[in-house]
């Protein structure tokens, strides 16, 4: 019975270790690979279908094409400069927000025809969950009020002490 419990615990621990934990403010590389070296007019589009406009980042032979980029990703995305030569089309997303949690699509087009499409899931967590913040506020209040009580204890107890000493 005990052994079983230990094994179950170990399984639980290893499952937790394998999951990628991302928090607000972190950066993350969204992976995408495709051999674009033989394409004539390649375009790589990272997008989120739940947003309008959906474009997160766009790369063409001339370079980044960000005029259709969704405002909330402004200045937070980058791809390697030689991405279209090496086929490493991964997107570096910085300063993660809770609202970045979504499914991202990496789409490769040539002359407008879609050649490939792959999805990456991203889950961003709060660095300090609200219950932890509430607990911290409560602790500070407790310490402060305790300190005040201790500091002004003479005011609260003086009457009582007089009574005790001079009955
Ligand atoms: C992602 O971009 C940020 C900001 O430009 C940079 O500091 C960071 O090193 C990049 N990450 C990787 C793995 O290239």
Q: Cα angle at 114 between 110 and 120, to 5 degrees?
A: 115
**Ligand 1 within 6 A of 94 CB?**
yes
- The model's pTM is 0.71
Nearest atom in ligand 1 to 78's CA: 2
Q: How far is the CA of 119 from the centre of ligand 1 (A)?
A: 21
Task: Give every strand in the sheet of 77-78, ordered side by side.
Answer: 28-30, 91-93, 77-78
Which residue's CA is the closest to the ligand 1 atom numbered 10?
92
Kindly state the helix (H) or strand (E) to which residue 157 belongs, with its residue range. helix 153-165
Q: pLDDT 10s per residue in the chain (167 long)?
A: 544 444 444 444 444 433 467 999 999 999 999 999 889 999 999 999 999 999 999 999 999 999 999 999 999 999 999 999 999 999 999 999 999 999 999 999 999 899 999 999 999 998 887 888 899 999 999 999 999 998 888 877 765 555 555 55
- Nearest-atom number in ligand 1 for the CA of 92 is 1
118 in contact with ligand 1, CB cutoff 6 A: no
């Amino acid at each position: 019975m005990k052994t079983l419990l230990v094994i179950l615990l170990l399984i639980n621990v290893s499952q937790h270790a394998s999951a990628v934990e991302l928090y607000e403010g972190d950066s993350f590389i969204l992976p995408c690979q495709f051999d674009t070296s033989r394409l004539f007019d390649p375009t790589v589009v990272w997008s989120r279908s739940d947003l309008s406009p959906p474009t997160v980042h766009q790369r063409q032979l001339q370079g980044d094409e960000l005029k259709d980029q969704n405002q909330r990703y402004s200045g937070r995305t980058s791809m390697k400069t030689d991405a279209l030569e090496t086929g490493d089309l991964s997107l570096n997303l910085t300063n993660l927000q809770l609202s970045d949690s979504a499914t991202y699509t990496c789409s490769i087009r040539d002359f407008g025809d879609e050649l490939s499409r792959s999805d990456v899931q991203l889950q961003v967590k709060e660095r300090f969950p609200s219950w932890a913040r509430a607990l911290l506020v409560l602790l500070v209040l407790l310490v402060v009020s305790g300190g005040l009580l201790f500091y002004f204890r003479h005011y609260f107890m003086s009457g009582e002490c007089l009574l005790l000493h001079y009955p």
